[in-house]
Amino acid sequence: MRIGAHVDSAEPLVEAAARGADAVQFFLTDPQGYKSPKPREDAEQLRASEVDIYVHAPYIVNVASPNNRIRIPSRKLLVAHAKAAAEIGAKGLIVHGGHVGSGADLADGFANWRKAFEYAEKEGGLPLPILIENTAGGDNACARRFDDLARLWDAVGGFGAGFCLDTCHAFAGGEDLTGIVDRLKSITGRIDLIHANDSKGGFDSGQDRHDNLGSGKIDPELVVAAIRAAGAPAIVETPGGADGQSADIALLRERAGG
């Protein structure tokens, strides 16, 4: 069982070693900006490393948006980040499910997701799996409620989209963690990665506020059970730097048996 952490992008392998992590996730650019990623000097080392690499797309990427000044650059960024992530040997590019904003029709958001994959195919295809992540909130979100996720999957499942389950987002988004893997697999058919986070916000609060395992509102056994049931690698996106994340990784290794 591969367990790792979201880390600073400057020296991901050093950060992995400091946490005893088998996997790391990081951003290639400022997560709030529209910059395209530049080639990394450590690409060779990252590719050769035993540590599994995951890249998280910027938060501002929202391919579902009805606003073309957000949607079009988001599409382009998604493809640019996918190419750059593949160059460093990443196993997947994680991107949030996005949202259409209040008053808009979610059906347009799902159609826009489909168009994003069609655009990527025209641009030469995606060189690694895109892992769509469930979100805690967002105005009219595509991947908060699982009945909406099912409609999203009708639009993108055929393109080979992967799924990343964030336990904080599911709980804060109002989805019960008990039996969640079976419910998800009946929708997506797959769970490629788990973001193993506790939640500072309460159930269905819509708040995206991660906490260390056992410190927030989620019973850590439910996070462990989800990892076991999914049989997927896990990344903690928790606070406290190397110390806080090392403790979370140790807890998961001990209880999920990895």
Return the number of the residue (5 or 16) whose C-beta is nearest Zn ion.
Answer: 5
Q: Which residues in the 192-221 window bind Zn ion by CB under 5 A?
A: 195
Return the number of the residue (66 or 240) whose C-beta is nearest Zn ion.
Answer: 240
- Binding Zn ion by CB under 5 A: which of 22, 52, 148, 166? 166
Return the number of the residue (71 or 195) whose C-beta is nearest Zn ion.
Answer: 195
Least distance to Zn ion, CB of residue 166, Å: 4
Over its C-alpha atoms, the chain yields an Rg (Å, rounded) of 17
What φ, ψ does residue 200 adopt, rounded to 5°?
-75, -30
What is the number of the residue whose Cβ is closest to Zn ion?
A: 195
Least distance to Zn ion, CB of residue 94, Å: 7
Stretch that binds Zn ion, among 27-35, 37-45, 120-128, 232-240 (CB under 5 A): 232-240
The total of other beta-carbon atoms located within 10 Å of residue 159's CB is 16
* CA end-to-end span of the chain: 4
Task: Give the residue from 118, 188, 180, 177 showing the smallest Cα distance to 148.
Answer: 188
Least distance to Zn ion, CB of residue 194, Å: 9
* DSSP label of 103: T
Return the number of the residue (15 or 133) whose C-beta is nearest Zn ion.
Answer: 133
Task: Give the residue from 32, 37, 33, 31 showing the smallest Cα distance to 8.
Answer: 31
Specify the residue for token string 């993108």: 156
Least distance to Zn ion, CB of residue 39, Å: 26
Stretch that binds Zn ion, among 98-106, 119-127, 148-156, 161-169 (CB under 5 A): 161-169
Task: Please state, in angstroms and rounded to a whole number, the distance separating the CA atoms of residues 239 and 135.
Answer: 18
* DSSP label of 124: T
Q: Which parts of this chain interact with Zn ion (CB under 5 A)?
A: 166, 195, 237
